Amino acid sequence: MARRSFLRYAGAGAAAVAVLGTASCGKDHIKHPDGSYIDIGSGDVGILNYAYALEQLEAAFYLQVVATPYSGITAAETAYLTDIKDHEVLHRDFFKAAIGSAAIPALTTDFSTINFSDRTSVLGAAKLLEDTGVKAYDGAGYLIQSPDYLTIAGKIVSVEARHAALIANLISSGSFAAPDQVDANAINRSASIAEILGAANGFLKTKVYATNFNYPII
Amino acid sequence: MNLFNIIDEIEKVDPEIHERLNPRRAAIKNITSFGSKVAMAAMPFALGTMFKKAYGATADTATVIGVLNYALTLEYLEAGFYNTGASTAGLIPASQATYIGQIKNDENLHVTFLQGVIKSLGGTPVTAPTVDYTGGNGKGGGPFPTVFSNYGTFLAVAQVFEDTGVRAYKGQAPVLIGNQVVLTAALGIHAVEARHASAVRKLRNDIANGASATPTIKPYIVSTATLGNDTGVAAANGNYAGEENVTQGGVNLVSALGVSVGVATASFDEPLSKDDVLKLLVGSFIVS
pLDDT at position A181 is: 98
Identify all chain A residues contacting B109, using CB atoms and an 8 Å cutoff: 184-186
Identify all chain B residues contacting A76, using CB atoms and an 8 Å cutoff: 209, 211-215
Per-residue pLDDT of chain B (288 residues; tens, 9 = 90+): 344 444 444 444 444 444 444 434 434 433 443 334 434 444 444 444 443 333 332 337 899 999 999 999 999 999 999 999 999 999 999 999 999 999 999 999 999 999 999 999 999 999 999 999 999 999 999 999 999 999 999 999 999 999 999 999 999 999 999 999 999 999 999 999 999 999 999 999 999 999 999 999 999 999 999 999 999 999 999 999 999 999 999 999 999 999 999 999 999 999 999 999 999 999 999 999
CB contact under 8 A, A145 and B2: yes
- As for how many domains chain A has, the answer is 1
Return d(Cα A172, Cα A179) in angstroms, integer.
14
pLDDT at position A35 is: 72
Handedness of CA B99, B101, B107, B109 (dihedral sign): negative
CB B144 within 8 Å of CB B135: yes
| Residue A10 belongs to some domain of the structure | no
| Residue A166 belongs to some domain of the structure | yes
| Residue A2 belongs to some domain of the structure | no
Estimate to the nearest angstrom the gap between the alpha carbon of B151 and the chain centroid: 24
Global ipTM: 0.89
| Residue A156 belongs to some domain of the structure | yes
Which residue from A8, A13, A56, A44 is spatially nearest to A208, judged by alpha carbons?
A56
Return d(Cα A212, Cα A43) in angstroms, integer.
8
Read off the CATH number of the domain in which A172 is found: 1.20.1260.10
pLDDT at position A217 is: 86
CB contact under 8 A, B187 and A14: no
| Residue A208 belongs to some domain of the structure | yes
CB contact under 8 A, A150 and B211: no
| Residue A1 belongs to some domain of the structure | no
Gyration radius of chain A's alpha carbons: 17
Decide if B27 touches A, using CB distance below 8 A: no
Q: What pLDDT band is residue A218 in, cutting at 50, 70 and 90?
A: confident
| Residue A13 belongs to some domain of the structure | no
Distance from CA of A62 to the nearest CA of B (A): 14
Choice among A22-31, A38-47, A130-139, B133-142 with the minimum mean pLDDT: A22-31
Q: Which domain holds residue A72?
A: 38-114+123-213
Query: From edge to edge, which strands make up the β-sheet containing A37-39?
Result: A30-31, A37-39, A207-209
Return d(Cα A66, Cα A121) in angstroms, integer.
14
Which of A187, A188, A196 to probe by mutation at the B interface, max B CB count within 10 Å?
A187
The pTM of the full predicted model, rounded to 2 decimals, is 0.85
Identify all chain A residues contacting B207, using CB atoms and an 8 Å cutoff: none
CB contact under 8 A, A98 and B218: no
| Residue A94 belongs to some domain of the structure | yes
Distance from CA of B56 to the nearest CA of A (A): 21
Interface of A with B in 199-218 (CB under 8 A): none
